[in-house]
């Protein structure tokens, strides 16, 4: 199931600086694959989109867990 945050996600919509091949892999794995493993989704679903840092990549799980823990 695709992530419901796709439309507004800066990562999915190429607003973040990332090599295109790596970005495509992340999109397929997290945005179009298992959204529950996406660090951005983890924060948005637990705390709200406003808590997701602009520079957070989908694979930054430790940082996401820290943000969730602190809030």
Residue 21 falls within a domain, yes or no? yes
What does the pLDDT read at residue 24? 85
User: Would you tell me how many other CB atoms lie within 10 Å of the CB of residue 37?
Assistant: 13
Residue 36 falls within a domain, yes or no? yes
Mean of pLDDT values over 10-28: 81
What does the pLDDT read at residue 22? 84
Work out how many domains the chain is built from and give that number. 1
Average pLDDT value for the chain? 91
What does the pLDDT read at residue 65? 98
What's this model's pTM, rounded to 2 decimal places? Answer: 0.88
Residue 47 structural domain: 6-70
What does the pLDDT read at residue 46? 97
Does the pLDDT at position 51 exceed 90? yes
Residue 65 falls within a domain, yes or no? yes
Residue 1 falls within a domain, yes or no? no
Residue 13 falls within a domain, yes or no? yes
């Amino acid at each position: 199931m695709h992530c419901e945050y796709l439309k507004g996600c800066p990562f999915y919509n190429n607003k973040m600086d990332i090599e295109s091949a790596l970005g495509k892999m992340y999109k397929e794995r997290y945005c179009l694959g298992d959204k529950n493993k996406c660090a951005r989704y983890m924060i948005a679903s637990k705390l709200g989109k406003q808590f997701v840092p602009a520079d957070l990549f989908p694979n930054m799980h430790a940082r996401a867990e820290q943000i969730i823990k602190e809030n």
